[in-house]
Structure 1
Amino acid sequence: MRFLAHRLLLFVAALFGVSVLVFVALRILPGDVAAVMAGTAATPDRIAALRTQFGLDRPLITQYLDWVGGLLHGDLGTSALTGRAVVAQVGQRASLTFPLIILSLFIALLIGLPLGCASVLANGRRMRGFLHVLAIVGGAVPALWSGLLLILLFSRGTGLIGIFPSQGFPSEGWHNPGRALSSLVLPAVATGIVAGAGIMRYTRAAVGDVMDGGAIDMAMACGMTRTQAVLRVGLRLATPQLVSVAGLTFAQMITGVMVVESLFALPGLGALLIGDVGNRDLIAVQSELFLLAAFFLLLGLVIDLIHRALDPRLKAADATGTDAGDGTTGSAASKGGE
C-alpha cells in the first residue's frame, strides 16, 4: 500500500506538472492566442470575439483553473473549428487509433518473441549472424517506407497482390468489423515490423541474461532439453522485463502510428492533432496534448505495478532497502539496444 500510494502521488504530481507545461507552452507562442486562432485575415472584432468566447481575456491563473476544473469534470473544451466537444472528437478518433496500436503490438510480439528466442537457441554462427542482421535491418526501416512497400505489394487496385485496402476507414466504422479490421492490417504490419525488431533484440538480451544466471543449466539438469529450458524457464523468468518492454513499445506506438495514419489516410488521433495544429485550434490542441501526456504517465504507472507484481525481487528489495532486479533489467536494456 505504501508503494502504491507513493506511485499515485508521483502520478498526480506529474499530471500537475504536465498541465502547467502544456498551458504555459501555448501561452508563450508569439502573438495573441486569439489572433493566431483567428488567422492573418481576421478583423479586430473577430479576434476580440474569440478572446471573449474562450475566456482568453481573463487572467492566466483564472484560465488555468477553469481549464483544470473542466478536465476534472471530463470537459475538455469546445473546438473552435467544428464547434463539437473535444472529448467527443477524441473518443471518436481513439476508437480507430487504439485498435490499430493493439493490432500493431500483437504483430510486433508475434515477430519479436519467437525470433528473439530463436536468436538465443541458434547454434550455427551463420544463423546467429543472420538473425542479428535481421533485427538491425528491421529496426532501421522507417515505418513510412515499409508502409509504402506494403501498399505496392498488397493494396487493392495498385498492389501486385490486391488483398487489403490501402486508404481510408469505413464510414460505418466498427459496425462492419470485417471491413474495419481489413483497413488496419497494412498500417499495423508496417508499424509492427519496426517494433517487432526492437522486441526481438530485448527478448534475446533478457533470455540471454537468464541463461548466464544458471537457471537454464538447472532446468537441463532436471531433464529438459535446451530448447524446452529456454522456452519454459528462460522465457518465464524474463517475463517481467518483457512486459516492461511491451508496455514502453505500446506507448511509443502512440506517436509512431501518426505517420502511418497519414500515409494510409486513417482518421485517427494523429490526423486530429495535426489538423487542429494546422487550423490553429489551440484550445483543442491544449486538451489533446494533455490527454496524450496523461496516457503516457498512466501507462508508465500500470507497467510499474505489473512489473512489481511479476518480479518478487522488487518486493524483497523494499524490505531490505536494496535495489534488487535493476541490474538485470538494465543489463537487458543495454544489450537490447546494441
Structure 2
Amino acid sequence: MRFVVKRLVLFVAALIGLSALVFVMLRVLPGDVAAVIAGTNATPERIASLRDDLGLNKPLVAQYGDWMLGLLHGNLGVSAVGGRSVAGQVVTRMSVTFPLIVLSLLIALAIGLPLGCAAVLARSHRLRGLYHGIAIVAGAIPALWGGLLLILLFSRGSGLLGLLPAQGFPDDGWSSPLRALASLTLPALTTGITAGASIMRYTRAAVRDMASSQAVDMAMACGMTRTQAVLRVALRLATPQLVSVIGLTFAQMITGVMVVENLFALPGLGAMLVTDVGNRDLIAVQSELFLLAAFFLLLGLVVDVAHRALDPRLKTAGITSGKATA
C-alpha cells in the first residue's frame, strides 16, 4: 500500500506539472484564436470583443485556474471555433481511437509473443536468422508506407484483393459492429505489425535469458521437454519484463495510431487534434493534450504496480531496503 500511495502522489504531481506545461507552451505559440474566429476582414474592435468573450484578456494565472477548476468538475471547456463541448467531441472520437489501439495491440501480441518464443525454440541457425530478419524488417517499416502497401493489397476499389474498406468509418458508428470492425482492420494491421515486431524482439531476448536459467534446467530434469520448459517456465518468469514492454508499446501506439487515422480518414482523436491545432483552438487543444498526457501517465502507473505485483523480488527488495533504513 505504501508503494501504491507513493505512486499515486507522484501521479497527481506529474499531472499538475503537465497541465501547467501544456498551458504555457500553447500560449507561447504565435497567432490569436480570436483573430482566427473573427476572420481575415474583422476589425480590431471585433477581435478585442471576441478576446473578452473567450476570457483571453484575463491574466494567465486566472485562465489556468479556470481551466483546472473545469477539469476537476469534468468540464473540458467549449470549443472556441466550433462552439461545441470538447468533452462530447472527445468521447465521440474515443469510440474510434481506443478500439483501434486495442485491436492493434491484440494483433501485435498475436504476432510478437508466438514468433518471439518460436525464435528461442528454433534449433536451426538459418531459422533463427530468418526470425531475426523478420523482426528487423517489420519493425523498420514506416507506418505510412506500410498502410499504403496494405491499401494496395487489400482495399476495396483500388486493392488487388478488394476485401476491406480503406477510408472512413460508418456514420452510425458501432451500431453496425461488423462494418466498424472492417473499417478498423487495415489501420490496426498497419500499427500492429510494426509493434508486433518490437514485442517479438523483446520476447525473444527475455525468454532466451530465462531459458538458460536454473529454473528451466530443473523443469527439464523433472521430465519436461525443452519446449514445455520454455513455454511454461521461462515465459512465465519473463512475464514481468514483458508486461513493462507491452505497457510502453501500448502507450507508443497512441502516437502511431494518430498518424494512421489521417491516412485512413478515420474520425478519431488524431484527426480532431490536427484540426484544432490548425484552427488555433487553444481551449480544445489544451484539454486534448492534457488527456493524452494523463493517459500516458496512467499507463505508467498501471505498469509499475503490475510489475511489482508480478515480480516478488521487487517486494523483497523494498522490504529489505525499509529494514536497512530503519
Structure 2 CA distance for partners of 1:37 and 1:243, relative to 1, 3 Å:
farther
In the TM superposition, 1:185-264 aligns within 5 A as 185-264=185-264
Q: CA deviation at 1:244?
A: 1.1
Structure 1 gap ranges (5+): 323-338
Letter aligned with residue 125 of structure 1: H
Q: CA deviation at 1:37?
A: 5.6
User: Which residue pairs with 1:72 in the alignment?
Assistant: 72
Mapped contact 1:166–1:186 kept (Cα < 8 A): yes
Letter aligned with residue 102 of structure 2: I
User: Which residue pairs with 1:57 in the alignment?
Assistant: 57
Q: CA deviation at 1:43?
A: 2.5
Partners of 2:140 and 2:49 lie apart in 1 by: 49
User: Which residue pairs with 2:141 in the alignment?
Assistant: 141
**TM-score, L = length of structure 2:** 0.96
Mapped contact 2:36–2:279 kept (Cα < 8 A): no
Structure 2 CA distance for partners of 1:40 and 1:214, relative to 1, 3 Å:
farther
Partners of 1:116 and 1:264 lie apart in 2 by: 30
User: Which residue pairs with 1:88 in the alignment?
Assistant: 88
RMSD: 1.3
Q: CA deviation at 1:69?
A: 0.3
Letter aligned with residue 200 of structure 2: M
Mapped contact 1:191–1:256 kept (Cα < 8 A): yes
SS at match of 2:230: helix
Letter aligned with residue 301 of structure 2: L
User: Which residue pairs with 1:289 in the alignment?
Assistant: 289
User: Which residue pairs with 2:302 in the alignment?
Assistant: 302
Mapped contact 2:147–2:186 kept (Cα < 8 A): yes
Partners of 1:25 and 1:200 lie apart in 2 by: 37
SS at match of 1:321: helix
Of 175-184 and 29-38, deviating more is: 29-38
Letter aligned with residue 113 of structure 1: L
Mapped contact 1:247–1:299 kept (Cα < 8 A): yes
Q: CA deviation at 1:54?
A: 1.8
User: Which residue pairs with 1:4 in the alignment?
Assistant: 4
User: Which residue pairs with 1:330 in the alignment?
Assistant: none
In the TM superposition, 1:10-29 aligns within 5 A as 10-29=10-29
Partners of 2:124 and 2:281 lie apart in 1 by: 58
Paired residue total: 322
Of 28-37 and 309-318, deviating more is: 28-37
User: Which residue pairs with 1:336 in the alignment?
Assistant: none
Mapped contact 1:104–1:192 kept (Cα < 8 A): yes
Q: CA deviation at 1:20?
A: 0.5
User: Which residue pairs with 1:331 in the alignment?
Assistant: none
Letter aligned with residue 122 of structure 1: A
Partners of 1:40 and 1:244 lie apart in 2 by: 50
Structure 2 CA distance for partners of 1:263 and 1:31, relative to 1, 3 Å:
closer
Mapped contact 1:191–1:257 kept (Cα < 8 A): yes
Partners of 2:181 and 2:31 lie apart in 1 by: 44
Q: Deviations over 1:151-186 (max 9, x none)?
A: 111111111111111100000000010100010001
User: Which residue pairs with 1:275 in the alignment?
Assistant: 275
Partners of 1:21 and 1:141 lie apart in 2 by: 33
Structure 2 CA distance for partners of 1:104 and 1:62, relative to 1, 3 Å:
same
Letter aligned with residue 262 of structure 1: N
Structure 2 CA distance for partners of 1:38 and 1:135, relative to 1, 3 Å:
farther
**TM-score, L = length of structure 1:** 0.92
Partners of 2:18 and 2:110 lie apart in 1 by: 34
SS at match of 2:45: helix
Mapped contact 1:37–1:281 kept (Cα < 8 A): no
Letter aligned with residue 138 of structure 2: G
Q: CA deviation at 1:21?
A: 0.2
User: Which residue pairs with 2:43 in the alignment?
Assistant: 43
Partners of 2:134 and 2:219 lie apart in 1 by: 30
Mapped contact 1:112–1:198 kept (Cα < 8 A): yes
